[in-house]
Amino acid sequence: MRSDLMKKGLERAPHRSLYKAMGYTNEELARPMIGVVNSANEIIPGHIHLNTITEAAKAGIRMAGGTPVTFPTIGVCDGIAMGHAGMKYSLASRELIADSIEIMATAHPFDGLILVTNCDKIVPGMLMAALRLNIPAIVISGGPMMAGTHNGNCVDLISVFEGVGSVKLGSMTQETLDELEDCACPGCGSCSGMFTANSMNCVTEALGLGLPGNGTIPSISAARVRLAKQAGMQVMNLVEKNIRPRDIATLQAFKNAIAVDMALGCSTNTVLHIPAVAHEAGITLDLDLFNDISSRTPNLCHLSPAGHHHLEDLNEAGGIQGIMKEISALGVIDLECPTVSGKTVGDNIKNALVKDREVIRSVEDPYSREGGIAILRGNLAPDGAVVKQSAVSPDMMTNEGTARVFDSEEDAMNAILEGKINPGDVVVIRYEGPKGGPGMREMLSPTSAIAGMGLDKSVALLTDGRFSGGTRGAAIGHISPEAAEGGPIGLVKEGDRIAIDIPNKRIDLKVSAQELAERKKNFTPKEPPIKTGYLARYAKMVTSASTGAIFKG
């Protein structure tokens, strides 16, 4: 056993003595030792209940003859960090999470890992650690939050964000917003739409590193606790057979995950996280692969923010296994890929059913023939940009407008709320990329304000930053190279014309090549505004969004 390095033999008597100081018995030390990474905290709704999930996973480990050993990691709540300097730290936390787990599981060589997670950067950070360490591991999420209800309608966190713009516009009263604030997030779990946390939990299941149900079983369900116990028991089988994450997360498995991503209409943040996770497995995923798979995978679901369904509806309709069964008929799912369940994808989905065709449409009747995400290129984004096309109004799929240029999210937000943005404008927010931010902030506040003010069908927003999975409208992010690296987005001037053609995967600044070359000659990118601490180091090490914002090798 790997854990024998720290507990077996004459020379390890001092090590055993330290274990016994914590109450471990000889019988416990003789068993395989499983690290249980518990990201519970009291600042993220998706993590407030993770002690319960952790205890269930530990029970499963014990039932199957192992010894669980818990240790923590950090987590940022993107919703609470949104709209201020705190959001600069969210994406950057992903690397710290992966690094901290690597440190703990190498300093203390466990035989296997259970990774208890739920929200935006914690899920990919844990996946990255699992593939980097490559010891038997299972990811178990805390599950999605239930949707709220207001006057008989389903609501969620995005309803509150968009309500801010509606109050500014005068189409909603402050009293109604207060009511929404109280009921939109009714309890624990990852926010209830197809936002980044739920997107990544579903991707984890599709990738094969989470058990069936990992992405969709609600946080408040006893089935979620039972799934955690099953994960604890199953990791012992993986340890016994030495089945490791890289045996499961192959190139074909990543293609499966991207296909599910497209069918679901997941968050654009998956285009950052999936390549970063793959990188830890030694696999390079080119952005064009997303378009290739999208061209063969129809969009079958319109969950919030694209539509009115939520994760509990997806769970009842058949979940991720139902999605995989439905799109497998198109040949976009490799049925032979192994999973942490001990079965292949084909075995797992054999008896899966789609139970609600309003929530999961058939491949013959999709919302669109292409997947939910598109990669755009052009002279404004030569290395690529990303848009959640399933959440874009048909009126905005092809669009040309006037650039309104801002060098920070705050400046753009002020202009939007002060009524300075007009129909036909293209809001450009730059110096918000991985290096320029630093930290690549999400732009949920400005996109929600645009939607709340009724401008989402007439105003586009472009940024070298990124968007929440809750963003809807013609919001195009990850524009690469970013302004801080001398990218063309840094050359845009107020009043320039910008053409967006999502069906043809183009985004272009309507300025001649000669004029662009002249502007570039006189262009000096702004320095990142933070000069000390972790973010200053992060800005020096991080690569482009087009490569997953990983650290330089």
Which among 552, 551, 4, 550 has a CA at the least distance from the CA of 274? 550
How far is residue 510's CA from residue 496's CA, in Å, rounded to a whole number? 7
Residue 510 has phi, psi (to 5 degrees) of: -80, 65
Parallel/antiparallel/unpaired status of strands 137-141 and 148-150: unpaired
How far is residue 547's CA from residue 544's CA, in Å, rounded to a whole number? 6
Residue 217 has phi, psi (to 5 degrees) of: -60, 125
Whether 362 sits among the annotated catalytic residues: the reply is no
Gyration radius of the chain over CA positions: 23
Parallel/antiparallel/unpaired status of strands 425-429 and 497-501: unpaired
Per annotation, catalytic residue among 100, 192, 468, 546: 468
Residues contacting residue 150 through CB under 8 Å, at least 6 positions apart: 159, 179, 180, 183, 184
**How many Cα atoms occupy the beta-carbon half-sphere of 171 within 13 Å?**
12
How far is residue 541's CA from residue 538's CA, in Å, rounded to a whole number? 5
Bridge partners, 56 (sequence order): none
Query: 543: which 2 tokens?
Result: 């690569």
Which among 34, 227, 254 has a CA at the least distance from the CA of 136? 34
Which among 468, 548, 552, 553 has a CA at the least distance from the CA of 124? 548
- What percent of the chain is helix, strand and coil (3-state, nearest 5)? 45, 15, 40
Residue whose structure tokens are 């290096």: 435
Sign, Cα dihedral of 198, 204, 208, 212: negative
What region does 83 belong to: left with phi over 0, alpha with psi -120 to 50, or beta?
left
How far is residue 111's CA from residue 318's CA, in Å, rounded to a whole number? 34
CA angle 429, 492, 196 (to 5 degrees): 30
Which among 519, 528, 469 has a CA at the least distance from the CA of 490? 519
Q: Give the active site residues.
A: 468
